Structure 1
Amino acid sequence: MLRKTIAILSTVSLTVSASINLPSGEDWLDHTTKGLAPYWVMPSAQGEPIGNFPTFRCDDGTLLNVSDVCPELKRDWISPHFGKDFTRMKSRQTFAYGVLYHLTGDPKALNLAKQGAYYIIDELQDKKNGGFISYTQEGKAGLDWQQRTSQDQAYALVGLAMYYYLTQDKKVEQALIDQQAFIFEKYRLEDGLGLAWVLADSSDDSEKQRELVAQLDQINGYMLLIAPLLEEPIKSKWFNDLNWLTQTMVEHYHSKSEQRFYGAIHHKAAMMPNANHNDFGHTIKAYWMTYLTGQTLKNSEWSTFGLKGMKHTLEQAQYQKNFASVSGYFNEQLQEKWKDQDITGWQSRPYSQWSSSWEWAELDQAAMTVSLVDGSMKEVLQYTLPTFHDVWVDHKYGGVGLEPKRTKAFHWGNGYHQFEHALIGYLYSQQVEKKSATLHYARPKNSKMPIAPYYFQGDVIDIDVQEDGTQKVRFENIQP
């Protein structure tokens, strides 16, 4: 479950109910501001100019020095990408700042989100061919436009989507609309299998690939959050595309017999359980998105399908371990609380007893969603949520790594998953405790845009307009 090389123990304190043993809403806010934020608000994280967020940083926050590479980045699957500056990582970091503002109202976080969104729009759009540049290398676009993956095209928008949800910024709205149109026009396949992975072969990718994330990360990255906020006729177009993409994913990328999603379907080898993306993390995200899309589009068949799939996957992904064998990774409070117990963790694949932080976060988020629907999963979450707060977080420098406390900023590692996890966790805990949830927005005065707590629904009980015009909104009755 956890690497024995990790020796740093945290001093995090959890307010745990005697009956359900879950972190409170205040614990989630502390986790966000004290556990996650320090690593991401360092000057080294903010880029030059601010908004040009760097892809590679060491675990102490310092920028990568290719002449003296820190051990956590000295890996054969990371080092070949040194020198590349990835748009998707700037966008994911933009998302993280948006969530930090959403939960705390910190104007500095909102400004960082704006700087990130505007830098992506102003500097990284391909004004000749359309779409966004996947990465730059020595100041130049690193791939021909047809070699850019549709996943990268989607993740260029994840930070823009969060910023627009918070602010209703018209410049960002237009970029979202233009990019969605570009993706669905250029990447839509004639064979009926959804969106293409790439449009032309490169040294790494083939136009023959049919990838789950080419579909899934359009939904996850921007469509599900933004579609309900748009005005007609764009709103109906997005809903139609969302419907088509989800139907494609369920029909062609899902195995009824194995009750999982295939990571890819272009070859039998790509569909095998040990192949790339055939893990519980991608499957649970696909079920979660299908459930939430079903709720948004009022498709009860998808909602039922997604809920059933989440419950099955969560059962398969959990495992039990004697706490004594891993207690050294936990703080003293949890050592005392869980001694002589078996605790539950999440695993990436059957019998692996290991996962990455993003997979742990995705499984937690689905488990919290299921718990809001039917009240189950608390027996598992009482272990997995405090474990994420304590073991995964680097309590010295802040942030969460691919592994516990380690490898925090690289070409796929960034603040996105850990901050989304914190947002879902806060909303979940407030609802479980039957308390209202407070979220911060910066929308124009008298905005008519629908307002809801992220992917969930809730009753607005108060909107407190601040002196600077931003809004402090309280929700109750939060449900997915």
Structure 2
Amino acid sequence: MRRNLLGIMLATFSLSGYAAQDLPSGVDWLNHVADGLAPYWMMDSAQGTPVGNFPTFRCDNGAILNTVQPCNELNKGWISPNFDREYTRMKSRQTYAYGVIFHLTGDLQALALAKKGAYYLIDHLQDKKNGGFISYTHKGKPGLDWQQRTSQDQAYALVGLAMYYYLTQDPKVEQVLIQQQAFIFDKYRLTDDQGLAWVLADSEEDSAKQRELVAQLDQINGYLLLVAPLLPPKAKAKWEQDLGWLTQVMLNQYQSEKEQRFYGAIHHKAVMMQDAKHNDFGHTIKAYWMTYLSGRLLDQPSWVETGLKGMKYTLKQAQYSQDFDLVQPFFSDTLSAKWQGETIPAWQSRPYSNGTSSWEWAELDQAAMTVSLLDGSMKDTLKYTLPTFMDAWVDHQYGGVGLNPKSTKAFHWGNGYHQFEHALVGYLYAQQIDGKSAELYYARPKNSETPLQPYYFKAEVSKKRPVTNQVTKVAFAHIQA
């Protein structure tokens, strides 16, 4: 994905009721979801034709892209060549977003949209002949031969299904998740046992010689880690075995212990350089976060230690100081009054770049909140970076978060996934820091015995209350990373 060089990039909105000297509260996060994020994604234009066939390209005001007269924010040389494609991964990411809206707010329309999205993926975008999922459709027809589809696209086809299954235990979705995971680990597993291939055959865009971090990493964060604990015993055992193997591969093949970072790719020295694609703090922090969480799930203390050490080091490297007076005009009055004359922490994508994108900011915040839950550190940084995300990135006219501040919100790599994961982790963090229970909504069967845990975290179920025949509100206490 293209990075937005942040520099002086900060946008403005009113932080109504927000106590600027504190971390955002759970209520702040729920308001952020309901008022800051959801309006853009709940528009009729976002829902697709038929509903569930979510459009890849939408303008910042929510309008469907007009390719004859494209809106300025999408009329870019790196976006416009893809205007005639509809991407499976983006429909899946948007399905995830609706799942989180329901999870946090109990919005039944969002749950219905998540189901529509999940079922559209299953019914229309699976490759019934060859297996796996279509990467994109071109003028309504499948693009790429099946062997030319990236393993990353195969993973992200599942991110929405994973979230919907976590919420509902839908048996149709469970079957597809199990089948797709088996397909990926059968077809893409390299013969030298050194991970998963990027593609199986060359195309105009990709080579079978590529060895990419995201071919491994996005299996873990896309579906393996969330779904594995919820599956029937036989499938659970296989998924956990594959998760363990893939985590070890990632550490053995892609981690530089000396530099304490992950290489974005390893097939050539050039792609391992700090300024090469995916050699950024966003991918490194996500890889260390997944290493930590996988180690905790699979009882691998060395991975837990490596993940925590790597997160702390990366967070230190990714932080830089911004003279607030230089950007004060871009902030709300509330934060301007609070931070005037200060030097504030911010996140950067690479060493000395002073630039980042919204998804990288979100990943760094999520890791920082995880570390803070573990040892109480990072609060002084999060008091700035969390409200800055709410202030700078959110479009408070139309809703949603863009690749650029307030802009470029729906395209072939930009969608609701990262902003809603950020909000979910933020809410859980806030409730634990404030000593309050976190209340989440599920739509699992009444007789379900599947363990209830809040996303990637551990907690005690303190209360369960039926809301409707379909929906249960669950209160979690003592949230642990």
Q: Same fold (TM over 0.5)?
A: yes
Q: Which residue of 2 aligns with 1:43?
A: 44
**Alignment partners' CA distance in 2, 1:193 and 1:371:** 34
Q: Distance in 1 between matches of 2:32 and 2:75?
A: 29
Counterpart of 1:295 in structure 2: which amino acid?
R
For the 8 Å contact 1:229–1:450, the answer to whether it is kept is yes
Q: CA deviation at 1:14?
A: 5.0
Instruction: Give the aligned partner of residue 236 of structure 2.
Output: 235
Aligned equivalent of 1:352: 353
Q: Deviations over 1:254-279 (max 9, x none)?
A: 00111100000000001010100000
- In structure 2, give the amino acid aligned to 1:258: E
Q: Give 3-state SS (helix, strand or coil) of 1:193's partner.
A: coil
CA shift, 1:89, in A, is: 0.1
Q: Deviations over 1:125-159 (max 9, x none)?
A: 00000000000011110100000000000000000
Residue type of the partner of 1:73?
Answer: L
- What's the counterpart of residue 337 of structure 1? 338
Q: Tell me, in whole angstroms, the C-alpha distance in 1 between the residues paired with 2:215 and 2:394.
A: 30
**TM superposition shift of 1:470:** 1.1
Alignment of 1:402-421 (within 5 A): 402-421=403-422
Alignment partners' CA distance in 1, 2:451 and 2:19: 34
Structure 1 residues 376 and 250: alpha-carbon distance in aligned structure 2, compared to 1, 3 A threshold? same
Using the alignment, how far apart are the partners of 1:376 and 1:412 within structure 2?
A: 32
For residues 74-97 of structure 1, give each alpha carbon's deviation from its aligned partner in whole angstroms, at most 9, with x where no partner exists: 111101101100000000000000
Number of the residue aligned with 1:217? 218
Q: Counterparts of 1:13-32 in structure 2 under 5 Å? A: 13=16, 15-16=18-19, 18=21, 21-32=22-33
Partner of 1:127: 128
Root-mean-square deviation (CA, aligned residues, Å) is 1.0
Residue 451 of structure 2 corresponds to 450
The Cα shift of 1:17 comes to 7.2
2:20–2:334 contact (8 Å) kept in structure 1: no
Q: Gaps spanning 5+ residues in structure 2: where? A: none
Shift of 1:467: 2.8
User: Contact 1:14 / 1:386 at 8 angstroms: preserved in 2?
Assistant: no
Q: Report if aligned partners of 2:147, 2:201 keep a CA contact under 8 Å in 1.
A: yes
Deviations 1:220-254 (A, max 9, x none): 00000000001111110000000000000000100
Which residue pairs with 2:258 in the alignment? Answer: 257
- The superposition leaves residues 395-417 of structure 1 with CA deviations (integer Å, 9 ceiling, x where unpaired) of 00000000110100000000000
Following the alignment from structure 1 to structure 2, what is the Cα–Cα distance between the partners of residues 467 and 234?
31
1:12 to 12, 15, 18: 15
Q: Determine the C-alpha separation between the residues in 2 that align with 1:184 and 1:302.
A: 22
CA distance in 2, matches of 1:229, 1:5: 41
Matched to 1:152, the amino acid is D
- Within a 5 Å distance, the mapping from 1:35-184 to structure 2 comes to 35-184=36-185
SS of equivalent residue, structure 1 residue 326: helix
Structure 1, 9-18 or 377-386: larger mean CA deviation: 9-18
In structure 1, C-alpha distance between the alignment counterparts of 2:213 and 2:8, rounded to whole Å: 34
Q: Counterpart of 2:416 in structure 1: which amino acid? A: G
Cα deviation for residue 437 of structure 1 reads: 0.3
Query: How many residue pairs align between the two structures?
Result: 477
Q: Residue deviations 1:350-398, cap 9 Å, x none?
A: 0011100000000000000000000000010000000001111000000
Whole-angstrom distance in 1 between the partners of 2:212 and 2:412: 19
Deviation at 1:9, TM superposition (A): 2.4
Write out per-residue CA displacement over residues 314-365 of structure 1, whole angstroms, 9 at most, x where no aligned residue.
Answer: 0000000110001111100000000010001000000011100000000000
Once the two structures are TM-superposed, the CA of residue 4 in structure 1 deviates from its matched residue by 5.2
Deviates more, 1:461-470 or 1:331-340: 461-470
Once residues 125 and 148 of structure 2 are traced to their aligned partners in structure 1, the CA distance between those partners, rounded to angstroms, is 16
- Residue pair 1:85, 1:135 contacting (<8 A) in 2 also: yes
State the identity as a percent.
Answer: 67
CA separation of 1:467/1:188 partners in 2, compared to 1, >3 Å: closer, same or farther?
same
CA–CA distance in 2 between the matches of 1:108 and 1:43?
12
* Cα separation, 2, equivalents of 1:5 and 1:148: 35
SS of 1:89's equivalent in the other structure is: helix
Residue number in structure 2 paired with 1:289:
290
Aligned to 1:391: 392
Matching residue of 1:428? 429
Distance 1:444 1:5 in 2: 46
CA distance in 2, matches of 1:48, 1:192: 42
Is the 1:14–1:24 contact (alpha carbons within 8 Å) kept by the matching residues of 2? no
Secondary structure of residue in 2 paired with 1:265: coil
Describe the SS at the equivalent of 2:290: helix
The SS at the match of 2:73 is: helix
SS at match of 2:441: strand
Matched letter for residue 286 of structure 1 = A
- Give the conservation status (yes or no) of the 8 Å contact 2:9–2:392: no
Contact 2:97 2:416 (C-alpha < 8 Å) held by counterparts = yes
TM-score norm. by structure 2 comes to 0.98
Q: Using the alignment, how far apart are the partners of 1:257 and 1:317 within structure 2?
A: 17
Task: Provide the C-alpha distance between the structure 1 equivalents of 2:478 and 2:445, rounded to a whole number of angstroms.
Answer: 25
Native 8 Å contact 2:8 2:326 kept in 1: no
Q: CA deviation at 1:5?
A: 7.2
The aligned counterpart of 1:199 is 200
CA deviations on 1:273-297 (whole Å, 9 max, x unpaired) are: 0100000000000000000001100
Take 1:232 and 1:2, find their aligned partners in 2: how far apart are those partners? 47
Q: Deviations over 1:104-128 (max 9, x none)?
A: 0010000000000000000000000
In structure 2, distance between residues paired with 1:14 and 1:283: 35
C-alpha deviation, 1:13, in angstroms: 2.4
CA–CA distance in structure 2, aligned partners of residues 400 and 142 of structure 1: 28
Distance in 2 (alpha carbons) for counterparts of 1:431 and 1:464: 20
Distance in structure 2 (CA, Å) of the matches to 1:218 and 1:471: 29
Q: Structure 1 residue 162: deviation in Å? A: 0.1
Matches of 2:55 and 2:17, distance apart in 1:
33
Instruction: Assess if the C-alpha contact under 8 Å between 1:193 and 1:210 holds in 2.
Output: no
Q: SS in structure 1 opposite 2:233?
A: coil
Quote the Cα distance in structure 2 between the aligned partners of 1:2 and 1:270: 24
- Equivalent position of 1:471 in the other structure: 472
Cα offset for 1:192?
2.5
